[in-house]
Amino acid sequence: MKFLLVGLGNIGEEYRYTRHNIGFLVLDRMVNKYQTEFKSGKLADTATFRIKNKVVTAIKPTTYMNLSGKSYRYWLEQLDVPVEQSMAVVDELALQFGTIRIKTKGSSGGHNGLASIEQELKTAAYARLRFGIGNSFSKGKQIDYVLGKWSDEEVKALPELLDKTILAIEESILSGFSNAMNKFNG
């Protein structure tokens, strides 16, 4: 069985360690765990590895956040993976830092990357793992916050939180989204 994992973020060194790039950070750590690496591909950097009997292709779109759906759709079609066997990993302002939520459908919630995916897939029924980045910013400073670097406290906490997120993804792939939601949402 095949599974597509899509980390959302922006390409370029200036975005590398920003809150908006948590999808890339999660996938970088996961690909490292499975002792492989990303290679340049069409519309995305890609890495393939096995989790037990599942072949997982992880992609980091090179289309920038607002056009992530283009890459997502292309790789679903290219790999012949049903949308039900895919998941987007994305930042979420509405959740406290480090909180994760898995859902199998829902709205974009104003997130441009998710809106692009919905537009390209012509459905909101795809799995997403939202990683809370918090919302401690002043009025009118949302973009600066989202595209800002992690605080020193967040940097210290990230490794453990990234590992927990990887466990949630593995659970989703191996046991299904319902089991993962029961175990990790909350």
* Tens of pLDDT, residues 141-158: 888 899 999 999 999 999
Residue 2 β-bridge partners: 55
Top CATH class, 2-184: alpha beta
CA–CA distance, 186 with 184 (Å, rounded to integer):
6
Average pLDDT in the chain: 95
pLDDT reading at 110 higher than 90: no
Average pLDDT in the 54-66 region?
96
pLDDT reading at 186 higher than 80: no
- Catalytic residue flag (residue 20): yes
Q: What pLDDT is recorded for position 82?
A: 96
Domain residue ranges in the chain: 2-184
Q: What pLDDT is recorded for position 136?
A: 82
- Closest C-alpha to 161, from 122, 128, 133: 133
Q: Which residues contact 58 (CB under 8 A, 6 or more apart)?
A: 5, 6, 7, 27, 30, 31, 38, 46, 47, 48, 49
Catalytic residue among 4, 5, 6, 20: 20
